[in-house]
Amino acid sequence: MTVACACVLMTWPAAAQEGHPLKGSWLGTWTGNTTHDPDLILVLNWDGKAITGTINPGTDNLAIKNASLNPDGWVVHFEADAKDKSGRALTYVIDGKIENLHLPNRAVTGTWKNQKESGAFKMTRQ
């Protein structure tokens, strides 16, 4: 059942989104992360002044902060406070770039790091 649902999720066409390019739900992976699940889910919003959102809502519930989008190159930056498995505070710093801006299922690729580890990530808008 879980597998079937996952397949549906993975093949669901991206909803049209012609407004702010980051707004929406994003699904992807961040490699090398031993603290959190390698699957990455982001829900992002834009209120006209700030980008807000949550990493892995429902599980990790990491609120993003200091989020920005530089339209010169469509460069994305955001951060999120978390805790490792021992309870030690971590701060994720995530930097990427929007690819295929014109597509509903556009992607953001880049790198992430915290005080313990780092890696690459890619997420695609759903």
Partner 1 sequence: MRSATRRLLAAALTALVLAAGASARLAAHHEILAKFDDSKRMTLKGVVTLIDWRNPHVHVFINVRQGAGQLANWAIELESPIDLQKSGWNRATLQPGDAISVEGWAARDGGRQMWGNSVALGATGRRVLNVTPRAPAPLVSARPTPRWPDKQPRLGALPGGTEGYWAYPSSTVLVENGANIPMDAWGLLKNIADAPKVAPMQPWALALYTARQRRFLRDDPMFLNCKPPGGPRQFQQSYGVQLVEDRERSRVFVLIGSGNNNYRIIYTDGRGHVGQIGGDDDNPLYYGRGVGTWDRDALVVDTRGFNEDFWFTNGGLPHTEQLRLVEKFTRTDFDTMKYDVTIEDPGAYTRPWSSSWTLRWVAGEEMPRHYCQDNRS
Site string for partner 1, 71-110 (x = CB under 8 A): xx-x--------------------------xx--------
Instruction: Closer to partner 1 by CB, 21 or 110: give it.
Output: 21
Q: What is the DSSP string of 20-45?
A: STT-EEEEEEETT-SSS-SEEEEEEE
Instruction: Closer to partner 1 by CB, 49 or 85: give it.
Output: 49
Minimum distance of partner 1 from residue 8's CB (angstroms): 21
Q: Minimal CA–CA distance to 123: which of 69, 56, 62?
A: 56
Instruction: With beta carbons less than 8 A apart as the criterion, state whether 81 and 65 touch.
Output: yes
Q: Please enumerate in sequence order all residues whose Cβ is within 8 A of that of 55, keeping only pairs 6 or more positions apart, or say none.
A: 40, 41, 42, 61, 62, 63, 64, 80, 92
Cα–Cα distance, 10 to 105 (Å, whole number) = 12
Return the residues of window 19-78 that contact partner 1 according to CB under 8 A. Answer: 19-21, 23, 46-49, 69, 71-72, 74
Minimum distance of partner 1 from residue 83's CB (angstroms): 32
Q: Which stretch binds partner 1 (CB under 8 A): 13-21, 25-33, 79-87, 89-97?
A: 13-21
List of residues contacting partner 1 (CB under 8 A): 15-21, 23, 46-49, 69, 71-72, 74, 101-102
